[in-house]
Amino acid sequence: LPSSRILIHQPWGGVAGQAADIGIQAREIVRIKKLIIQYFARHTEKNEDMIAQDLERDYYMSADEAVEYKLVDKILERPKNNEQTSKK
């Protein structure tokens, strides 16, 4: 919908436990971040460095900005009332 907002950011999570467990979780977050960067780069046609920079902090986009960024294909509009009733 036109009023939608999109937020992208790097993966995050809370960790607790022994140092070895924290290390495992940290490596998994780094692995997931790399996958997200590769996926976004492939589908948005932006380079991985730009994606990594955009994911570094919270990045909010309007619906139009998300289309321009190529995260979404198009913005859907709500059907008008007369369009809904004519399809019933």
Answer yes or no: is pLDDT of 75 > 70: yes
Residues 2-47: tens digit of each pLDDT: 999 999 999 988 888 899 999 999 999 999 999 999 999 999 999 9
Number of domains into which the chain is organized: 1
Question: pTM for this one?
Answer: 0.76
CATH classification of the domain holding 23: 3.90.226.10
Q: Find the domain containing 22 and state its range.
A: 5-86
Contact 86, 11 (CB under 8 A): no
CA distance 87 to 84: 6
